[in-house]
Amino acid sequence: MNSETAVAVVGVGCRFPEAVTPEEFWSNLDKGVVSLRDIPAEDLRRCGVSPETAAAPGFVTRSGWIADPELFAAEFFGLTPVEAELIDPQQRLFLEACRDGLERAGHLPNGEHGPQVGVFAGASNSTYNTLLQYARARTEGPAAFDDLATQLGGGIDFMAPRVSYKLGLRGPSLAVQTACSSSLTAVHYAVLSLLSEECDIALAGGSGLSYPSVGYRYQPGGVLSEDGFCRAFDIRSTGTGAGSGIGVVVLRRLADALADGDPVLAVIGGSAVGNDGARRPGFTAPSPDGLASVVAAALTVAGTDPADLRYAEAHGSGTPLGDQVELRGLIDGLRAAGARPSDRNHCALGTVKANIGHAGSAAGIAGLIKAVHVVRTGNLAPHPMFEHARDPGVLADSPFRVPTELERCTDAGRRVLVNSMGLGGANASVVLAPPPEPVRPAAPARPVVRLQLSARTRTELDALSRDLADEIDQDRAAPGDIAHTLRLGRQDFAERRVVTAAPDRLAAALRLPRPPAARTVRAGTRRPVLAVTASGEQAEAIRTTLLAALGGRTEQHTGVPDALPADAYLIVVGEGEGESGPGRYVIPAADGADTGDHIAAALADAWLHGVPVDARALDDGTGRRVTLPTYPYTRRRCSALDDSVFDVPGAARQEPARPSAPAGRPAGLEGELVALWEELFGTGGIGPHDTFGALGGTSLLGLRMTLEVQERYGILLNLHRTGGSQATVARVAEAIRGASDRTDGEPTGTADAALIDADLALELPPLAPRTAPPGTDVLLTGATGFVGAFLLHELLQDPGHRDSRVYCLVRADDEDHGRRRLREAAARFRLPEPDPERVHVVPGDLRDVAEVCETYRDGELARRTGHVVHCGAHVVFTEPYEVLRPANTLATYHLLGWMRRHGITDISYISTLAACGQALGSEGRLLERREQPLDPEAGGYGISKWVSERLLDKAERDGMRVRVFRPGLIGGDTTTGACNDLDMLWRLVAACLAVGAHPADDMPLPVAPIDLVARAVVQLGREPGSAGRAYHLVGAEATTFAALFAELGALGAPTRPVPVAEWARLAGRRALETGDPVLSTMALYETHDLDTPRVDVEARLWGDWLRERGLDPRLDGGRALQALRHLAGHPTFADLLTDVTEGA
């Protein structure tokens, strides 16, 4: 086995008949348990199978069924009951299994900055969703089969992407469909993805759930057996048994797994896939030659001598032809790989189908999970119900034998082969080896161990504590490793518990979690404050460790602050500073003292009270991840199937039970809206201050609510202006009450007035003189955004910057991650990959820009930077100033402070036309000058840019050279059409084309192409005469909404003008029919939500630059169509635009 290409199995998640954990499954196998049981008579009746039919000769009611498949933790995964009911149970359970597998491996996805995790999975066709469509078709006709929500819930293409979406995984996400061998084929491609470094962790498996289980009528010569049992390789076998299963393995490159101390269960030494081709009796008939070649290839890749095989997990269909062909193919495959004819009966042969039946697309992963147990433990499970071989002579002369009792294999060099065959000739084989000895040291034994647990609710936290206590009683893992795994491998939730006890008291403290051993807190988010009052090497070392764990947003002091905000958590490093208590922890800092445990205790207490803590900062090279109990989900019934679906005679339709309204439901308008929200979300107990986003609100649910509000109250509600994802019943009620009273000129955002005044009064530090020649390099913020990516491209192309480096501030874990984000941004917008020799990544958050710049490579930025291009911002037009202030206004203030402290004077600032207001005497125009009045109608984004411009005015008064660039709407690249798929202009245009109508609005569109905007910023930014100026980066004559659609119509994409309200109704109706997210969003939008001025915009200065170069920024129909063709390749727009752009 080649250690460089070996892949470790580090975790397993599964649901099999009579087994909800891998341990239960493996125990059943060792005991020879057959989990093929009669389907309960009541379940058959509910599915329309009468007692007479069930008792008829030839009707088989035995199956390997999974208990309670309709139970699901919908709320945990952010789904409403209504949404969950439309998802096939096999896909829901696969999602749970994937998360369980990651937890058992000691790994969890870590959002944007975590490892690249891929998903490779196959699924069986959905009986559940077929029944839903059939039931709807009886009342809705063929249109029921076009319902997007039902298709998404049952389509096998969407299972892997749904896992990636719900768990936040950014690696490859592929549906692998080769019939019965799908899940083992998925493992093969997951291995290849890991070895090619497409991902760091891979989830591979499949789902095959027969729900509901209804039995079947036996057909001689068919696939399913006469009595429901599978007696593979036995002469009595008449076929396979109907079964179900969900399984997934978590894979890592072996070297990475060993280095991180992962729980390696088995090692994949090699794998292979192939097809039987045309040389077989029929399409569904297998071929021994095709199978043999795949088996031999897998053994060759693994470097495995067939004599070392001690177990072969066969596909084992149980059909006479299938068993004969597979046995022949396995024998020939081993001999092609070097097996000698004299090697007989050294390898046990079996199949998991004898235990659980045929699990469809999950059959291969079920066999692999069994094989992992065999190779890890050496337990050779008995093959149930085997008495007499179908081909006794062939079996006796082969390397194989069929064990009928549990056997033990202690050979250190044992190898296991897994084989899976799919109808259609798709074969897959995998070779496994035992896990090697760990290389990472275990956590050192300590007299006291500290465990950190968290859950969504106190009930779930208590259940997790009990499960963990049971695990500790088993004495399978060292307490220090358990603590290590909990810190690194578990997601943080609001209900938190820290248990501190001696190793032999941990289980008792977990079962009875009471102080002082156990402390439990429902934590909100708190920010860390660090006061280091001591001096010396020890204090500095403690400070460094704490800052690494607490992150760059830690507020630092040299003395204990007199007062702290309520959301602060204080850690004090120093002697004589009082005692630890609620909201504070004191670490003594005497030189020479062992402070490691004090630091760990302080960080555990900070975490307990809601401070984000990066546990990796405490990694001392010891501690192994161990398999621990997984999250104890609170599951509820989620099923849209009822008696009426199956035409049960005399059955009345049972409506899903809805929770009763709480006794404290508000009266009046708020009460009516609470009832509406509970109906939309399919749940009870919603309060007037619960937010739309936290409840699982989607654009489609938002559209439905808006239409209901309009119908009931005659008010066209703008959900975005009501808070978007932060909208609440109370805010919607306020909007309804105030809609008729609000005057057109009523200012918005007045609640932010105090913050705006405070920020305008901020004082900048003095401008320091340069002590060395000014730098020649450029610092660029926002380089991974749409505008920023083009700015980076232009900086690298511009002759005036040919010898300059470009430092890019990128939100990333490290420089490699940042470079990957820059490459991804360039690819997304069809730009060449940035030159790695000239582009340097500065990892950090925009909100921490000053500290990040100060500490980067020991001050390298201060020495080399001569010009700053500040493009980074939080671009959201629906959020208030208070939300946008940290990333937009305060980041600009801190960036200016850093520049001034180091004598860096040149800055180009990317602002927006939304920061402009109409001055007295301007005759209704937005003047192209630096001074601008605040527009009373401006939203939070425009205000944040306006305040930032005023800070730039202050910076300019004592010598800084400032240029302000104000784009309006941004069009696509003039060459490629590349544009921003998140831009509301293009979403609105795409929605209009899909509907075939556009709002009859003559609104001007102040727009310019992105490449011309970026080129202007770069070239004008280095011209001496540009300092002190503002440039409006829009065309001198704005295209109007009506003119744009007239030109698109002339080019073959016609739409008709309709009143705005009529357009909203058309878009809303289409959105409800299709569930399309773009239509759902835009049906709620009004044209003024584009946040562009409806007045003339002066653009004289940029106009001069354009004329000198013969450039025209106008958005005409041709450029718009080019941008739409670019968007048609984006998954979000594909369904909306493919027909339109192909026809135009």
Q: Can you give the pLDDT at residue 482?
A: 97
Over the stretch 569-598, which tens digit does the pLDDT of each residue have?
999 998 766 778 778 999 987 765 668 889
Residue 642 banded pLDDT, cuts 50, 70, 90: low
Q: Can you give the pLDDT at residue 1?
A: 67
Q: Can you give the pLDDT at residue 876?
A: 80
Q: Can you give the pLDDT at residue 524?
A: 84
Q: Determine the average pLDDT of the residues in 34-62.
A: 89
In 130-172, DSSP assigns E strands to: none
Share of the chain above pLDDT 70, in %: 92
d(CA 926, CA 1100): 11
Over the stretch 1094-1127, which tens digit does the pLDDT of each residue have?
567 889 899 989 999 999 999 988 999 999 999 9
Q: Determine the average pLDDT of the residues in 306-321.
A: 94
d(CA 427, CA 1117): 52
Kindly report the average pLDDT of the chain as a whole number: 88
Q: Is the pLDDT of residue 747 over 60?
A: no
Q: Determine the average pLDDT of the residues in 354-362.
A: 96
Q: Name the DSSP letter for residue 846.
A: G
Q: Can you give the pLDDT at residue 643?
A: 56
Over the stretch 619-635, which tens digit does the pLDDT of each residue have?
889 999 999 999 999 99
Q: Can you give the pLDDT at residue 235?
A: 93
Q: Can you give the pLDDT at residue 20?
A: 95
Q: Determine the average pLDDT of the residues in 874-897.
A: 89
Which residue ranges form the domains of the chain, and what is each CATH number? 7-433 (3.40.47.10), 449-618 (3.30.70), 663-694+702-742 (1.10.1200.10), 970-1008+1035-1093+1113-1144 (no CATH)
d(CA 247, CA 363): 9
Q: Is the pLDDT of residue 730 over 90?
A: no
Residue 829 backbone phi and psi in degrees, to 5: -110, 20
| CA 628 to chain centroid | 23
d(CA 991, CA 1008): 21
Residue 752 banded pLDDT, cuts 50, 70, 90: low
Q: Is the pLDDT of residue 657 over 50?
A: no
Q: Is the pLDDT of residue 347 over 50?
A: yes
Q: Is the pLDDT of residue 746 over 50?
A: no
Sheet of strand 173-175, all strands in order from the earlier edge strand to the far edge: 173-175, 117-123, 201-208, 245-253, 7-15, 266-275, 426-433, 415-422, 309-313, 347-350, 400-401
Smallest CA-to-CA distance from 842 within 815, 870, 820 is with: 815
Q: Can you give the pLDDT at residue 937?
A: 67
Q: Determine the average pLDDT of the residues in 556-576.
A: 88
Helix axes 699-713, 729-739, angle to 10 degrees: 40
Q: Is the pLDDT of residue 528 over 90?
A: yes
Q: Name the DSSP letter for residue 344.
A: -
CB 576 within 8 A of CB 549: no
Q: Which residues of 272-299 are buried (b: 16+ CB within 10 A; e: fewer)?
A: bbbbbeeebeeeeebbbbbbbbbbbbbb
Q: Determine the average pLDDT of the residues in 839-847.
A: 94
Over the stretch 255-268, which tens digit does the pLDDT of each residue have?
999 999 999 999 99
Q: Is the pLDDT of residue 169 over 80?
A: yes
Residue 271 backbone phi and psi in degrees, to 5: -155, 165
Residue 792 banded pLDDT, cuts 50, 70, 90: very high
Higher pLDDT, 939 or 922: 939
* Residue 1054 neighbours by CB distance under 10 Å: 16
Global confidence as pTM = 0.64
CB 117 within 8 A of CB 170: yes
Higher pLDDT, 276 or 483: 483
Cβ neighbours of residue 1124 closer than 8 Å, sequence gap 6 or more: 977, 986, 989, 990, 993, 1053, 1137, 1140, 1141
Q: Can you give the pLDDT at residue 294?
A: 96
Q: Can you give the pLDDT at residue 1120?
A: 92
Residue 173 banded pLDDT, cuts 50, 70, 90: very high
Q: Determine the average pLDDT of the residues in 723-741.
A: 75
CB 107 within 8 A of CB 489: yes
Share of the chain above pLDDT 90, in %: 58
